[in-house]
Amino acid sequence: MMPHSGHTEESPNMNFASADRFSRQTRYAPFGVKGQKALESAHLMVMGAGALGSHLAEQLVRMGVGKLTIVDMDIVEISNLHRQALYDEADALEMRPKVYALADKLRQINSEVEIQPLYQEITPTNIERMLTDIAPDMLLDGMDHFAIRFLFNEVCHKLGLPWVYGAAVGGKGTVYAIDYTGPCLRCLMSEAPETAESCAINGVIPPVILQVVSYQIAEVMRYLAGTGFSGKLLTVEPFNMKQQSMDVSRMKNPDCPVCGGQAAYELLGVAEPKWVEGSCGDTYVFRFKPQHFDNADLFPGHILKVNPYVKLLDIDGRSATLFKDGRMNVHGIEDAETAEALYQQLLKAMK
C-alpha cells in the first residue's frame, strides 16, 4: 500500500490520520507539531456565532482544536448569508438558532472536535459564572456590538484569561490580542472606536470579516505555539487596500480602571439589561418574562411562524422575533420614545 503523502518524519508522536490531516499547517515551522499538539489540547470559546464568530469557529474546527464552545442567542436570518460561514437558506427558513445550526455543520467538517453550543444571552451578571463553569483556555471575540468587548476585557482580566478582540464594520476591521502583560482594551480605547458603528447602518463587506478572522486565528496560533501574542493593534481596510500595524506594548495605562493598580470592574455584576434597549439600526430589544413566549397569541398582531425556540410576529407592520427566554427583537422602530410606547402597549396586552 502506498503511504499517504501527508505522513512526515517530524510527527512521530501524532497518530497517522492526524498527521496526514494537519500536515500542511504543521510543516510551517513557527507553528509545527508543537503548536498542533497545543491546539488539539486546547479548549477555546467563541463569543458570538455571527460573521466573525462563525468564521472563527469554522477555521478552528478545520485546524483541529480539541474543544470549542460557541455562545450566541440569535437565529439565522437571510441577511446573514452573504457574510456568515456555513449557514444556508434552509437554516434561515427554519429560523434555527445559530449555535445549533453551526454546531451541526462543524461536526460534519471534523467529527473529532468536541463542540459545545450554548444558546443563551451574555450579560454582566452571568458572564463570570459562565466562564468559571466552562473554564476555557482562551476567549475569542466574535460579537457584532462594541460595548460587550469592555465586559470581556474586565472578566478576562479578573480571571486571568487571554482573549482576542476583533471588530468589523463597513470597510474597516480591528484586531488586538490581550494577555494582560501589556495594555488591555480599556488602556487603548476609553470609549468605542470607529469600528463600534452598527453594521446594520454602515454595512459590512465580507473581505473585512475574513481579514479580521485571519489575524485573530494567527494570534491564537502564535500563542499556542509559544511565540506569544504580537502586542500589535492591527487595522485593516481591504477595499482601500490599506493596513496599519501599531506596536502598543508600551501603552499600558497605570491608572487604567481595569488593569491598573486597583481594578474596579465597573461593568461586571451590574443590573440586568434594560427592559427596552436599542440594538442595531432601527432594531430594539424588548424584555418580557419567559412565560410570555407561551402566551404570544395575546400580543396584538399576528404570529407568522413558530419553532421551539422563536416566534415570528407582525406587530403593527413591524417584524418582531420573540425568543423563548422572553427577549423580543422588534425592527422598524424610529426612536427610543416610540420603542417605549410600543413596549408599554405590548406589556398591557399581556396583563
What are the structural domain ranges in the chain? Answer: 42-247, 276-349
CATH assignment, 276-349: 3.30.310
* pLDDT 10s digits, 304-342: 999 999 999 999 899 999 999 999 999 988 888 989 998
Q: What is the pLDDT of residue 60?
A: 99
Domain 42-247 maps to which CATH number in 3.40.50.720, 3.40.1160.10, 3.40.50.300, 3.90.226.10? Answer: 3.40.50.720
118 vs 67: CA distance, rounded Å: 13
Q: What is the pLDDT of residue 199?
A: 56
Q: Give the chain's residues under pLDDT 50.
A: 1-16, 195
164 vs 134: CA distance, rounded Å: 18
Prediction pTM value: 0.89
Q: What is the pLDDT of residue 17?
A: 59
Q: What is the pLDDT of residue 273?
A: 65
The one-letter amino acid at 312: L
User: Look-up: residue for cell 502583560?
Assistant: 181
